[in-house]
Amino acid sequence: TNYFTVEGNTAYCLEPAVPTPSSGIYSAKVLSNNSDLARALWYVVDGPGAEDLYAWYGSEGYWQIPDPWINGVSPYDERYSYSHMFLSWVYAGFDWDTAFYGTSIPDQSWYDILQADYWNKLGDIRRMDAPPSGFSAYVIDTGSGTQVMGGWSYVPSGYAQIEKSSANPDLTDGNSCYSLAGAEYGVYTDAACKNKVGTLTTKANGTSNKLELETGKYYVKETKAPKGFALDTKVYTVTI
């Protein structure tokens, strides 16, 4: 196989028997994050989820040929190639001829070992968490007569949540004139609080909903005070 990148991220050939495409701009189809291929692209070598997989497995040696004679972790080239074969197998609907195209393993028993390992790995990625919403896996159509490619993009995200409390609980707790429910806080990308990206609304216990956001710095400002309370005019900063 060859090494590929798409939008700066490692990509993979999904059809090893077909000629390699030229560099260029191509159309792509986005996959469901719960699909086997999207999960595989998340967890393979250089995928955003690879570190989580290695932590679960115990080393970077997850994506390598299950050879008892190998001590430690195989070189990157071998692990990349093994990931490539696995992705081709998944894309082809678990067709072995596609996955092993171009290989020259002389002993059939080795193919049997690889097949068993592939099924085990497929079970592993199905049991692990699906990729998060900021991840997009896609299949790239490079044109007639050239390979279909598998690629991905990832915008990490996190969650914002607030907990509001009374400055004078001796007065407000148990007092029907006051309630922490219904406070609304706008979440903005700018300090002037003009570009709003979401709202946090508190419940009776003072906690708000969770708002998923891309990583970065945000500004939070109360836009609606709850019953009995004055509006909080302070702007708070949070980092996701």
Helix (H, G, I), strand (E, B) or coil at 144: coil
The DSSP element (H or E) to which 115 belongs, if any, is: helix 108-127
Distance of CA 151 to the CA centre of its chain: 13
Cα–Cα distance for residue pair 112/64, rounded to 1 Å: 15
Reading the chain (240 residues) residue by residue, the pLDDT tens digits are: 688 999 899 999 999 889 888 899 999 999 999 999 999 999 999 999 999 999 999 988 899 877 656 667 788 988 999 999 999 999 999 998 888 887 776 667 788 888 999 999 999 999 999 999 889 999 999 988 899 999 999 988 889 999 999 999 999 999 999 999 999 999 999 999 999 999 999 999 999 999 989 889 999 999 999 999 999 999 999 999
> Could you tell me the strand order of the sheet in which 196-201 lies?
196-201, 184-188, 217-224, 235-239
Say how many residues make up the chain. Answer: 240
CA distances from 211 to 86, 131, 183, 214 (A): 36, 18, 15, 10
Tell me how crowded residue 13 is: count the other CB atoms within 10 A of its CB: 23
CA distances from 237 to 34, 155, 187, 192 (A): 34, 21, 9, 12
The residue to which tokens 């390699």 are assigned? 20
Give every CB contact of residue 72 below 8 A, 6+ residues apart in sequence: 59, 61
Give every CB contact of residue 224 below 8 A, 6+ residues apart in sequence: 182, 183, 184, 231
pTM for this predicted structure: 0.73
